[in-house]
């Protein structure tokens, strides 16, 4: 468990007092549980409070504090911040692109009101706030290749609009009230143990489960749709390095990227291990609704500023990632 005397880089905290106490919203999602585990290994179980709007499995609750928290309820969140003496919030609660497009009203409240609540709490209580953005914050008029941090941003999905709103509001609070707001634009995240939650990039996870279990996948995107992607452990490492960086960084929002591939390229890589794997694509006359979302996003990102400012560097390229995904999913089936 955490030593109260430890000297660590806590940013706004006096550096020799204690470990930061972190609240993670949306902790039961694709990324939350891995991040909570990593932060607990650094700061002690009791210093990382996991929260969500559903009950956690007993084994998750046994590892450290878990609280029910609705991000749309400011008073409830504030109670948690005060009771647990929270220093940093990692805000993961959000509706992803496909689910948001099906339910715009809910996306507006969860993604925007939820974010406004944590941002206001960060201002009132002097907290550091990390809240990821996404490649979805870009739009069809954004340059598609090596998209830089600062460029044309005119998203045309409800998800992108909510996330761009959050980026701008976070930057405003940083400028105006000195809130230590940090954000990275995540690409699609691949993980074998935790399922993605309703995004356009989910095909890149589903494909592995179908390949191992059924030898075939019906892809909902066209074969040449190129999107930026990353393996989960890289995303968690990049997030932690960004979060714990001791000083306020030059930018509030950074691109982070690892690899970019198309469904066809991913299928070929999978075929190196499962030679009989087959994949089919939608009838061009009847594209899936997620095709238009994917077509509005960049194919690759320029993340040189993240590499410069907080040492971002991925460990997993395509080959290593595909091999690990297949090994892990095969182990689940055996
Ligand atoms: C989604 O597809 O909605 C997410 C994302 C790229 O933000 N995975």
Look at residue 7 in the predicted model and tell me its pLDDT.
Answer: 42
Q: What pLDDT score does 197 carry?
A: 86
Ligand 1 pocket check: which of 147, 201, 239 to mutate, most ligand atoms within 8 Å of Cβ?
201
| Ligand 1 contact, 160 CB (< 6 A) | no
Q: What does the pLDDT look like over 107-136, one tens digit per residue?
A: 999 999 999 999 999 999 999 999 999 999
pLDDT average, residue stretch 220-239: 98
According to DSSP H, which parts of 97-202 are helical? Answer: 97-102, 104-107, 114-125, 158-177
Rounded to whole angstroms, the Cα distance separating 247 from 47 reads 21
Give the nearest ligand 1 atom to 163 CA. Answer: 7
Ligand 1 close to Cβ of residue 188 (< 6 A):
yes
Q: How confident is the model at residue 18 (pLDDT cuts 50, 70, 90)?
A: confident
**What are 186-199's pLDDT values in tens digits?**
999 999 999 888 99
Instruction: Tell the residue number behind the tokens 């890589």, with chain if given.
Output: 269
Ligand 1 pocket: which of 30, 160, 200, 289 to mutate (most atoms within 8 A of CB):
200
What are the structure tokens assigned to 308, written together?
A: 């410069």
What mean pLDDT comes out for the span 250-260?
Answer: 98
Percent of the chain residues topping a pLDDT of 90: 93
Indicate if the pLDDT at residue 209 is higher than 50.
yes
Choose among 231, 236, 297, 239: nearest CA to 258.
231
Annotated catalytic, 159? yes
For ligand 1, say whether the CB of 97 is within 6 Å of any of its atoms: yes
What is the pLDDT confidence band of residue 1, given thresholds at 50, 70 and 90?
very low
Predicted confidence (pLDDT) per residue in 75-108, tens digit? 999 999 999 999 999 999 999 999 999 999 999 9
Catalytic residue among 159, 173, 203, 231, which?
A: 159
- Copy the structure tokens of residue 72: 């749309």
pLDDT of 12 over the 80 cut: no
For the Cβ of 200 lying below 6 angstroms from any atom of ligand 1, the answer is: yes
Q: How much is the mean pLDDT over the chain?
A: 95
Provide the strand spans (E) within the chain.
22-25, 48-52, 66-68, 88-91, 128-130, 133-134, 180-186, 188-190, 216-218, 227-231, 253-255, 259-261, 278-280
Which ipTM score applies to this complex? 0.99
CA–CA gap between residue 334 and residue 331 (Å, rounded) = 5
């Amino acid at each position: 468990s955490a030593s109260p005397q430890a000297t660590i880089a806590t940013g706004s905290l006096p550096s020799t007092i204690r470990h930061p106490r972190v609240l993670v919203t949306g902790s039961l999602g694709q990324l939350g549980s891995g991040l909570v585990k990593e932060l607990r290994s650094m700061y002690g179980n009791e210093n990382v409070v996991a929260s969500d709007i559903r009950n956690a499995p007993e084994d998750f609750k046994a590892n450290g504090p878990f609280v029910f928290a609705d991000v749309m309820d400011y008073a409830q969140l504030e109670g948690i911040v005060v009771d647990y003496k929270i220093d940093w919030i990692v805000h993961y609660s959000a509706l992803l692109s496909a689910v948001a497009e099906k339910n715009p009203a809910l996306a507006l409240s969860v993604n925007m009101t939820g974010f406004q609540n944590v941002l206001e709490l960060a201002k009132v209580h002097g907290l550091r706030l990390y809240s990821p953005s996404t490649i979805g914050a870009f739009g069809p008029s954004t340059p598609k290749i090596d998209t830089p941090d600062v460029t044309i941003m005119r998203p045309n999905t409800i998800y992108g609009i909510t996330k761009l709103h959050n980026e701008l509001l976070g930057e405003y609070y940083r400028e105006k009230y000195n809130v230590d707001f940090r954000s990275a634009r995540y690409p699609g995240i691949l993980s074998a143990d935790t399922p993605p939650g309703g995004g356009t990039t989910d095909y890149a996870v589903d494909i592995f489960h179908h390949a191992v279990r059924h030898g075939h996948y019906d892809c909902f995107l066209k074969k040449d749709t190129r999107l930026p992607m990353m393996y989960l452990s890289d995303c968690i490492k990049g997030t932690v390095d960004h979060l714990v960086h001791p000083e306020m960084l030059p930018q509030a929002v950074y691109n982070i990227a690892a690899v970019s591939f198309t469904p066809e390229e991913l299928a070929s890589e999978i075929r190196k291990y499962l030679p009989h794997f087959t994949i089919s694509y939608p009838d061009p006359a009847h594209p899936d609704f997620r095709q238009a979302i994917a077509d509005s996003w960049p194919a690759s990102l320029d993340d040189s500023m993240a590499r410069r400012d907080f040492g971002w560097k991925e460990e997993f390229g395509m080959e290593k990632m595909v091999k690990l995904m297949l090994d892990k999913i095969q182990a689940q089936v055996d």
